Structure 1
């Protein structure tokens, strides 16, 4: 088994479940030492035990990334324990569903910005001095396909994911001379708890019959992106059809987004090939 990250220190936010948990286990399998951060102390304990079972070291630090003092404590704990940070995976975040006209839209946007954007900025700013002193490192930001093309009823999330994409592009150029690489990941709908509380009828229309990615598939892409220094990763590759259409013309992008609401067309594009999101997350995880 490849252990190309043996001894490397990987700090992961939002590590207690979903993509964060999968990323932690993927890096643990590669021999990395893990710093696990999330609000749920109980969830972190469970993931830490899984990491230890794989033979990797782990430090769990319950952290609300929207609280600057907790972020500072997180990075301080990581450096005191391991002396360095080699990879930062900014994964913590939330998402809200609703139309722009909804009375809750502005508050949904504020909450999403706090967790998914400003929290990520706070963690990155705390880790950057460590990486610069080392003269090396990698930063991964988790955006979304929604960070390149917005869908109806997911505007607040898309606004923040666009901001994450822009932040990542700017950061990549700013730190290149310091030996620090930046990768932004754009997964399509993934089988996490992000939209668990949304009824099927409330989902963004293209998502209602889409087959979600597995967290393990996204985690594998994250590890590969860090290993190869990939600047931008879109998952699945077929989603590039939508993004290419959007880049050529907003009209074409809207046409593809509308086409994805038709199950037959989504199936032809390979985006609907099995269980839907709600069918997938209703199955207890093992």
Structure 2
């Protein structure tokens, strides 16, 4: 494979499993040097080994992205080791399932905001001056299809993903004068541990029979977005129909969202073609 990112330094948060791990490995395969950040020390060490086995130089730094001190230590360690940062992938975050009338809803919003939005802001504010000084670099922010269209029972997550989308749009315009690229990724349901603890009956209705994307699908989209300068990526492509409908009218968006609760319709759109999320997660070890 062509080493598209040879000698480029890529910092990935939430790198210990799921999309973050897959993104780290994808960049490593294309020759990048990696800085890995996550809270889980032991699992992060395993990903570090996997990256090193691919022939890439790697630094792992156990980090809670909601801690200003921890993020400062992470970025300082990256600069001391490599002297630059070329790509930041803001992937760390959590997701909660539950209705708006749930007693836990407000707390779910607060927790998700802290981990998935304020953590992202924290890391970005520390890395952005470095990219400005270099007058180059890319920031990739992981959002979701629900960063453009909310589904029932996933309101707390959708609120935060909409905020990530708005943050990314503002950041892209503010950073343009320094030749800094900003990409926001909007994957549909993905086979990660994000919703492992949610019962199938608690899931948003369309999710109960959808076939999830793989983490590797999303990772390939991330590396392509950086390589090609894509500002926004929606996965799978058919999900753009939902977002187009929502842009035209909330009534159309809601109609499509309701239609997706019917497995035959989701199947026609290529979004229900195999194992469901829970079938996929239960058949694979936690990662």
Task: Bin the TM-score by the shorter chain.
Answer: over 0.9
Deviation of residue 283 (structure 1)? 1.5
Alignment of 1:31-70 (within 5 A): 31-70=31-70
TM-score by length of 2: 0.99
In the alignment, does 2:228 pair up with 1:256?
no
Q: Over the residues paired in the alignment, what is the CA RMSD in angstroms?
A: 0.7
In the alignment, does 2:200 pair up with 1:208?
no
Runs of 4+ in 1 over 4 A off after TM superposition: none
Cα deviations by residue, 1:216-251 (Å, 9 ceiling, x for unpaired) = 000000000000010000000000010000000000
> How many residues in Structure 1 have an aligned counterpart in Structure 2?
286
Residue 21 of structure 2 aligns with which residue? 21
Residue 151 of structure 1 aligns with which residue? 151
**Uncovered stretches (5+) of structure 2, i.e. residues with no partner:** none
Deviation of residue 68 (structure 1)? 0.8
TM-score by length of 1: 0.99
Deviation of residue 284 (structure 1)? 2.4
Distance 1:252 1:179 in 2: 37
Deviation of residue 134 (structure 1)? 0.5
Residue 222 of structure 1 aligns with which residue? 222
Deviation of residue 23 (structure 1)? 0.1
Question: What SS does the aligned partner of 1:61 have?
Answer: strand
Deviation of residue 64 (structure 1)? 0.4
Cα deviations by residue, 1:21-65 (Å, 9 ceiling, x for unpaired) = 000000000000000000001111000000000000110000000
Distance 1:183 1:27 in 2: 16
**Uncovered stretches (5+) of structure 1, i.e. residues with no partner:** none
Question: What SS does the aligned partner of 2:271 have?
Answer: coil
Question: What SS does the aligned partner of 1:244 have?
Answer: helix
Cα deviations by residue, 1:121-148 (Å, 9 ceiling, x for unpaired) = 0000000011011110000000000000
Cα deviations by residue, 1:255-285 (Å, 9 ceiling, x for unpaired) = 0000000001100111100000000011125
Cα deviations by residue, 1:124-180 (Å, 9 ceiling, x for unpaired) = 000001101111000000000000000000000000000000000000000011010
Alignment of 1:1-286 (within 5 A): 1-285=1-285
Cα deviations by residue, 1:190-209 (Å, 9 ceiling, x for unpaired) = 00000000011000111000
Question: What SS does the aligned partner of 1:170 have?
Answer: helix
